[in-house]
Amino acid sequence: MAVMLAHLPPFRRAGRTMLWAVAGFGAATIVLGVSRNLWLALAAMFLIGALDNISVVVRHTLIQLLTPDDMRGRVTAVNNVFTVASNELGGMESGLTARLFGLVPSIVGGGVGAILVVLGCTAIWPQILSIGSLTGLRPEDEAQVRQDSDEEVAARE
């Protein structure tokens, strides 16, 4: 998938692509969890890896493009800490849920969780759906971001 993404044109609807990739990741994880067939399980694992790669590429590209230049190193460092920590914590969580609930419920629950994350992100941040091509994205003007933030705070009060 990484080789394909390197040679394909940029996504025209990156936000939707990312959310569909994560939802597909969840669906493929559910298929893996309930599969009793080796070839179906291998196909599900292939899809899990490919769809995860798509979502990672879009997420990391968004972070690099939308973060102001003076903050990019710090934001990338924090993102990397959370990514590494989430992999380790996810491994522990998977083992713990498999021990407590069994292997199949643990895998299926992880897939359902991924789909719920997509639904939650779409509900909380619907603007993700409007992210178009990654080629023209730039950090917003700092003053505009500050003004939007002030307007949000004022609207909540």
The pLDDT assigned to 38 comes to 98
Distance CA 144, CA 150 (A): 10
Half-sphere exposure in the Cβ direction for 28 (13 Å, CA): 19
121: which residues sit within 8 A by CB, 6+ positions away?
A: 19, 128
The pLDDT assigned to 2 comes to 85
pTM of the model: 0.81
Give yes or no for residue 142 having a pLDDT over 70.
Answer: no
Distance CA 134, CA 35 (A): 36
Tokens of 9: 């044109």
Which tens digits make up the pLDDT trace of 115-138? Answer: 999 999 999 999 999 888 888 777
Which tens digits make up the pLDDT trace of 72-100? Answer: 999 999 998 988 888 899 899 999 999 99
